Amino acid sequence: MKYLDEYRDPQMARKLAREIHRMTTRPHVIMEICGGQTHAIVRFGIDVLLPAQVSLVHGPGCPVCVTPLELIDKAIDIAARPEVIFCSFGDMLRVPGSEKDLFSVKAQGGDVRIVYSPLDAVQLAKDNPKREVVFFAVGFETTAPGNAMAVYQARQEGLGNFSMLVSHVLVPPAMQAILSSPQNRVKGFLAAGHVCAVMGFEEYEPIAKTYQVPVVVTGFEPLDILQGLLMVIQQLEEGRFEVENQYARAVRREGNRPAQEIIKQVFEVTERKWRGVGSIPQSGLKLRNEYLSFDAEQRFELSDYTRDEPGECKSGLILQGLMKPDECPSFGARCHPQHPLGATMVSSEGACAAYYRYRRVSAGEDQREKKGGV
């Protein structure tokens, strides 16, 4: 497939890896923000090709993983109601709430449907005027324009039976929270390519300057990630801290203006709780007043409550890059995909799930030792 296969070329990958080896003279800790990048790194084995001095930590870029427990419970509450058709992206169905997940609600008779696009949920509302259609609007900035359009169209068309349960989160505040933590070891970032396709990368410039960390907007294929790493390492070695764009075929500095316009029209910034991490100010989106009638929490009069996570789950530390999945005592033992303790083991983009699927045997570690460099 065009614009995919070319970026998986093994010869090119090795070339980039050799160049990284040549350039690296001291240890570097680099974080990739996006769960999709984590998935690609572990799946293709990109980290195995890197010099031992380069340590990759996995960031909180998995909206499924960071959706607060309370919101999952609210989703389950709504989905179980007989008048509701509850629509969601597939990712959310197996994320554990306090007692169960959306999949079990479906098994118990709830009308829970997987959709590919938020507009599919709007169509369901049109086709089922007597039912309440609720869409679980989870995601980072990439998904926000689509979710905004769904509400916008629902309002244009006067759909009184459509509402959204909103759990949108924003990347830059999360990066700042990580960088401000006294335990932070991250010195450079691969920024999330598709988030930046929508939002551009102007907002990372003050972060790079304030915290003196290089930020490289990076894509998702092996060559993208390797090139992004090369660019970050080059900056670190040269003592620079700028924002650069590796994913220029899909990202412009100003981003996608029409998409940003509709996000501003429908949503406003708010404080959000990140599962396992805590509340981060100005880190999420909620519906503006004009659109509040489409807010599912209001429509179903769900009160605010807080939930505690099981103490055993270390996903918070993993999401902040302070621990690797295989360093968690529960990994592979009490916690595995059939019995996940937290969201990072459930979501296909979660670091724990990725490690479990591809790395249980530490095939990666063996190879790094054997290869001893490229």
Partner 1 sequence: MCLAIPGKIVSIEGEDPFYRCGKISFGGIFKKVSLAYVPEAQVGDYALVHAGFAINLVDEEEAMKVFELLNQIGEIEEDLNGGERSDEVS
Partner 2 sequence: MSVPENFHPVCPLPIKDYPQVLLAHGSGGQLMHDLISRIFRSSFHNPLDHSQHDSAVLPSPGRKLAFTTDSYVVHPLFFPGGDIGSLAVFGTVNDLAMSGARPLYISAGFILEEGLSMDTLYRVACSMAAAARKAGVSIVTGDTKVVDRGKGDGLYINTAGIGVIEHDSLIDPASIEEGDVIIVNGDIGRHGMAVMATREGLEYESQITSDSMPLSFLVQDLIREHIPIHCLRDITRGGLGTTLNEIAQTARLSLIVEETCLPVQADVRGACEILGFDPVYVACEGRMVLFIPQAYAEKSLDVIRRHQDCEKACVIGKVREPDPRGLVFSLSPIGVERVVDMLSGEQLPRIC
Residues near partner 1, by CB under 8 A: 1-4, 6-7, 11-12, 14-19, 22, 34-36, 49, 61-63, 89, 116-120, 139-140, 142-143, 145-146, 149, 152-153, 192-195, 197-198, 223-224, 227, 248-252, 256, 258-259, 262, 349, 371-374
Q: Report CA dihedral (62, 37, 50, 21) to the nearest 10 degrees.
A: -120
Looking at residue 24, its amino acid is T
Question: 145 to 174, contacts with partner 2 by CB under 8 A?
Answer: none
For 172-222, the DSSP string reads HHHHHHHHHSTT----EEEEEHHHHHHH-SGGGHHHHHHHT--EEEE-SSH
Spatial contact of 243 and 201, defined as CB atoms under 8 Å apart: yes
Judged by CB under 8 A, the stretch of 56-64, 180-188, 236-244, 279-287 that binds partner 2 is 56-64
Nearer to partner 2, 89 or 247 (CB): 89
Residue 325 makes contact with partner 2 by CB under 8 A: no
User: Least distance (Å) from partner 1 to the CB of residue 321?
Assistant: 16
Residue 63 near residue 140, CB atoms below 8 Å: yes
d(CA 170, CA 280): 10
Least Cβ distance, residue 349 to partner 1 (angstroms): 6
Q: Phi, psi (5° rounding) for residue 148?
A: -60, -45
- DSSP assignment string, 122-134: HHHHHH-TTSEEE
- Residue 348: name the closest of 72, 93, 169, 75 by CA: 93
| Residue 193: CA count within 13 A, CB half-sphere | 17
1 binds partner 2 (CB under 8 A): yes
Of partner 2, partner 1, none, which one does residue 249 interact with (CB within 5 to 8 Å by kind)? Answer: partner 1
Cα 37 to Cα 45: distance, rounded to the nearest angstrom:
12
Sheet with 267-274, edge to edge strand ranges:
111-114, 84-88, 132-139, 162-169, 278-287, 267-274
Q: Closest CB to partner 2 among 14 and 253?
A: 14
CB of 97 to partner 2, least distance (A): 17
Among 20, 30, 31, 48, binds partner 2 (CB under 8 A): 48
CB of 75 to partner 1, least distance (A): 18
Contact of residue 19 among partner 2, partner 1, none (CB under 5-8 Å per partner type) = partner 1
For partner 2, the binding residues (CB under 8 A) are 1, 4, 8-10, 13-14, 35-36, 42-46, 48-49, 62-64, 87, 89-91, 93-94, 113-116, 120, 124, 139, 143, 222, 336-338, 347-349, 356-361, 363-364, 367
